[in-house]
Amino acid sequence: MKARAAEAGGAVDRAAAGYAAVLYAQPDNADIALRAWRQALAAGDDALAARAAKVLQAKGQAPLDVALYDCALAARTGDAAKIEQALKTLKDTPFAFIANPVRAWQAFAADKDPMPLLDAAQGSALERGYAAENRALLLIATGHMDDGVAGLRMLLGADPGGIDLRYNAAQLLAAKGRADTAHALLIGDDPMLAALSAHIGDGVQPSLAFGVSRIFTRLAADIAHGKAATLSIALTRSALAAEPGNDRARLLLADALAESDAPDRALAVLDQIAPDHPLWAVAQDMHVQVLARSGASPQAIEAAKRQSANGDAGDARQLGELLTGQKRYGEAAGAFALALKRAGKNADWTYHLQLGGALEQAGRWTEARAELVKAVEMAPDEPLALNYLGYARIEHHEDVAASEKMLQQAHQLAPANASISDSLAWAWFRRGDTARALPLLETAAAAEPANATIGEHLGDTYWAIGRRYEARYAWAAAKVSADPADLARLNAKIANGPDAHTAQAR
């Protein structure tokens, strides 16, 4: 029971230790072995994972990720028989598509031609895709670098974001003395690409362990954020079992652990990435994100401050976003101003929008207006910029007619955006046109029932046309997701209706 409680609370180390003790007392219990297996992977307890896997295999109840893990361990040691046994287990399963790429890397390690094995991959689009990617990598590994790069270019044309494929190929190219080509593959706006390009170094020599580890890492990246954290943990642990230095797998593992509500273990995994590794800066960003997602906002903000002190525009921006989430708008404005300064000529309209929004929330409207106007000037067809400036000017009773036209333009550009619909409807309500405001507010509330601002505006509109019961219902619904600071106003409206102090909901 203690182990299950620890598991439910994301304390994977305690859960693994508890299941280990129970499995020792009941060594033939497959149910306990399965729980022990899952928590062993999450905690990185290799000994418990091996013991649990042995029980599950003996009982014929091993999940498929046991075979994945066995394949990775065998790749690290070069045990061809165990690899073949694992691939046989995976035959006719959703993971069968990895067989030919794994065997191709085996052939490479044995100084045999790997290409016929990849030519045999004629099954699903997924199988063909993984075969094509590994063909390009193996062409580089076997010295046919120009052919490999040409294959990569075709693949990246279909998937320009393929960070893992770019990184894997760049590491192999750098190891072959083609650093210039490696850097060219890592050109892009993604911070991870920039970090990897700056620290590509001497690259990595191709091997069976490299190939298998990167196949599993690629699959884990493909399913990231797809509500498959358990599988992602198994894949990334398998990738690390094959290649312990694969820090890209560590990043994905940490993300999956955080998604599984195990933030402490996620942070521990991130701490394993050394400061001199190219992914260290990315790991620090994720460190802040994990803290924020776990509800540890003060710690996240302090970590973001340390990172922003000597960081870039992105670090300052991340700090501003965290401060905004805590309603520390004045401090957020300072962070966004720093981000804007650091970005320089590369600052787009979103920098001005974030700074203007923080200044407006901090009560510094004159400064905010200038930034919001700048955002609209830079992006006159961006509905978010138009919406923010138009709504804010109406709230400050400035140029209401022009602001309403701005909101109408935003709504035409993004008719499905509930917040923009709310802004336009509220502008109509403020000048007494409840007949037009109500249906738009009802549509917005149906699209985003958890949006407290829309719910409150809907209640105010119902009240204005005499539908008092529905007004109180809308305000009560708004209370469910409203900020604590807004509850007193909503309660007053429910009790007595809007008055001079509560009528102007923001």
Whether residue 297 lies inside any domain: the answer is no
Of 17, 39, 60, which marks where a domain is finished?
60
Whether residue 494 lies inside any domain: the answer is no
User: Is the same domain home to 170 and 247?
Assistant: yes
User: Is the same domain home to 89 and 213?
Assistant: yes
Whether residue 473 lies inside any domain: the answer is no
User: Is the same domain home to 76 and 144?
Assistant: yes
User: Is the same domain home to 131 and 166?
Assistant: yes
User: Is the same domain home to 73 and 56?
Assistant: no
pLDDT digits (tens, 9 = 90+) for 368-389: 999 999 999 999 999 999 999 9
The pTM of the full predicted model, rounded to 2 decimals, is 0.78
Whether residue 245 lies inside any domain: the answer is yes
Per-residue pLDDT at 504: 52
User: Is the same domain home to 206 and 100?
Assistant: yes
Two tokens at 77?
């040691």
Whether residue 446 lies inside any domain: the answer is no
Residue at 272: amino acid letter: Q
Other C-beta atoms lying within 10 Å of the C-beta of residue 455: 28
Of 260, 275, 301, which marks where a domain is finished?
260
Considering just the CA atoms, what is the radius of gyration of the chain in Å? 28
Whether residue 457 lies inside any domain: the answer is no
Of 10, 41, 60, which marks where a domain is finished?
60
Biggest alpha carbon–alpha carbon distance for the chain: 83
d(CA 235, CA 219): 7
User: Is the same domain home to 119 and 133?
Assistant: yes
Number of domains making up the chain: 2
d(CA 418, CA 12): 40
Whether residue 28 lies inside any domain: the answer is yes
- For residue 15, what are the domain limits? 1-60
User: Is the same domain home to 99 and 202?
Assistant: yes
* 8 A C-beta contact, residue 422 and residue 387: no
User: Is the same domain home to 26 and 171?
Assistant: no
Residue at 372: amino acid letter: L
Other C-beta atoms lying within 10 Å of the C-beta of residue 474: 26
Taking alpha carbons only, the member of 468, 490, 465, 492 closest to residue 480 is: 490
User: Is the same domain home to 53 and 99?
Assistant: no
How many residues appear in the chain?
506
User: Is the same domain home to 141 and 176?
Assistant: yes
Whether residue 206 lies inside any domain: the answer is yes
CA distances to 159, 207, 312, 321, 393 from 307, in Å: 31, 36, 9, 14, 35
Two tokens at 81?
């028989």
d(CA 295, CA 287): 13
* 8 A C-beta contact, residue 121 and residue 94: no
User: Is the same domain home to 80 and 55?
Assistant: no
* 8 A C-beta contact, residue 198 and residue 212: no
CA distances to 92, 102, 240, 255, 278 from 211, in Å: 22, 7, 12, 22, 20
For the chain, which ranges sit under pLDDT 70?
Answer: 121, 158-161, 225-226, 500-506
